[in-house]
Structure 1
């Protein structure tokens, strides 16, 4: 295995929560860790001033790093623990039993059950709820359960020797079963409600708290309303659904595919008995012409019908969408295995979360592949051949414009060379055309400002100036380049979507009148598509940031979220901070918020 290129890896590592695995030259896992921000955490290992002999020894042995993106840091924590238990990496601290997992315990064998914090082995005579992400989450949940259901938390020795109610009864945290101020039946009902709540059936409790909060607010009891708001926020924080551990169990493979610019990655996320064991990336060879359904169908038939241990194939395979040949494939699998197997494409809840995780990791793997130097060198060479360039092409700069109805337009300029995207050279321009939505004038302004400054500061000029647009946009950019007397130092080209607007059939426009259609298998076109898409992404994020400065609140400009939904969201989560930190699954559990709107909200807050 070649020496690990930390700089190249970090340049394309996700800035999302997840788990990372550090491998040595033999492919053995050295260390498993979790992070809120994968790039930031992994970057700390490869700094020149790293302290600690153990860390330095670990870094010296790293030959590869694999990452798994998760929906939240809590999910990353539980997945990290699962992987440490199964892989037992030499550089991790290894714990016995379940001491890394805190639980809530209810002593159901008692006449008056007790609720308490628990670590360690689970024994008969009690029900356990968890695992929870942290001890703080358990204690916060315990406090809520005591407030809402008033279940005792005292030790048995204290409970048996009471002759009068304690302080917990006075502050309405207990119903005083020790002195029989509550009947055994009523107390059992309280305990059952508490167990239902801890099992995830908390909608009824949340609705009741919401009603009380609204009533307190209408009654001008603002301190009480604030207390209830905080309780709602705490419920959401500690009761978030964990998709790396599932009480329902089940053996599932979640399979996702990402294909772009002639490359494809298929990701298989393996879940056994409700627990994520890990994921694996496959890179089928393609011609660049196949769509995602074709790639996925070919992969499924070869992977599951090949020479494999039949017992390792799960009963259910979750797919991102229904495939044209799905029925035939399912029949073939059942015949091959001699048992029932389900190909599911319409899933919700945990299975949708697993599929989202597989999709996110496939996207991350594809981005890393697209940035690989070998691919880029081949594509730059293909572009030189296509354009019949007199000199080597080593640097490409691409411009794109983004706006909403002509307002707050932003122009992006991204830079690529044979090592990939040079993000330190990226630039954005807040452009102000005379008429809102005039992309031609906005483009002229951005190109002029960019290269006037480059010339003034004696900066580096591109070998190719790429414009995301057709013949008109290309000509306006070329006019600016001519006016600056730079037309003999760079090529100018536009990339349009073509008559059918299908990827792979783009038309390239050149100032000499040539119109080239390289075709979907062209390595040169794959490079240009990658650069153009990055310019488009960079322009959109810049425009959103500019538009965000003019917002009056964090919710008012989100598409599809009106006053009623805003109220439901804030009531459910208790505040904007908790709402911003919610996962897609938590958002979808709010009344009136479907899966599509939940995706819109999550992307709005995180992109």
Structure 2
């Protein structure tokens, strides 16, 4: 393999100033845009020996044909120029945002002569104030219906308004009191605009003011025996309280903040954005990011935050108006250039007509931290749902199986795949899992878990597991030997099938070349070839770089980062890992209980107290005799016995 690429510039040619760099291919297309505080230091990372680069970085560097850079005056200018070029050129190796949702917003057309409130997905209405986004259109419709009782402004279309003006008769909303009917002169246009401004103020978080004002008016009307007006104010107050009850108070009513949640793996990331205004969650948005290069979380957060506010001369890449940042932006990790990003967001806020500097921070404690944790959990759930949905789509599954067949050189599509993983606790409690996917979907009734009494390392464990699996390939023999399956512990479902259903097309092991070689040895010893007639294909997936290793191959197969095939490989590998870890932890719990109950003076009740006190076996193993003695019912002598019995064991999952 070549040490580095031929177009590498001399080190002395690269300036040490802040700047923006661009990698281009042979056709001149920009492949990647990045920024740096020190161009020389940053670019030297790309021109390290190719074998030391992350696979996706190596692919970008070798695809490129040249690199160029532009020196700027400060890190802030570098940040601005980087994002400007990313928007302009959409380089394939930069983070690609994919939001397949069109969110509903509540819009108030304040620039109109007679403002209108409407629910829309169009973010380009001139002079409109937007609130949201909202995840459910029915929820905002229900909210608007309540708000019109308090703020009876126009919500009809232009055609309906003109018809009412011509006929002198208001529409139904005007008749039932949900519109002040400026069309027929029941209220002046100036007063109607005041109502629209009040609604915009309420939606911006100034609900306490309106609640107090309505309460005061209701009491005053009651004191002067104007019970009809008092009843109207009472109904309006009830409507406001109903609206507010739908937006749970999570923070003090002075807090305006956007909270970002982020969950990511090697190929994709899910982002969750909660918009809090006046201490209440006013909008929720989620979207997916495709990762090409291996970005650290701080770099990913920087790009995510910038994209969320769509900076490009006040407009997003799709022509939508930019969302104005609030004073507080909460992120899971602070970017390296957080000060410059805060300055950029502050300029966007000022451009949106709002005062105040934007601050970015990580929530550490209190209600804000709890809400941030909720946002992160939503992001994790969204990523899992995204991967499951993509794997579950019939067209995507068919494409994935076809791509796997082509990439591995198989004669047929792998309609049945079996994946194996090994887990252990410091070399003890060794277990293995087998998960089955048929037609790209999991068959949990055919999952299997194996106990491995003794093994030297992971490759030996893989060999033992595959040998036991391959010994039962004959369906008829499996049926005859159904009564004797002591090597197979159990399936995941409560009512397991005790047979291995039929011969797999593809065996997958979690690991690289060593694990694949061990699996191939098991196949060879069972008399089964890995290619040709009667063969079973074999591969391994290495987690760090998501490489696919084949037997007798010097280099791995690299699948495209967004391919359905790689998503399917990831899902079956992750499922095998989950299943193995679950079984290993079950055995660990049983094992530690049996070890502890063998100590004189320890019964099941005290064992439960110990595990409840320390929270986990790992914490108990690390505890000192003094700490163990603090548990109720555990004296110094028993504490020393427990420590001596557990101390030699190492912890950690394999």
Q: Which has the larger radius of gyration?
A: 2
| Length-normalised TM-score, structure 2 | 0.45
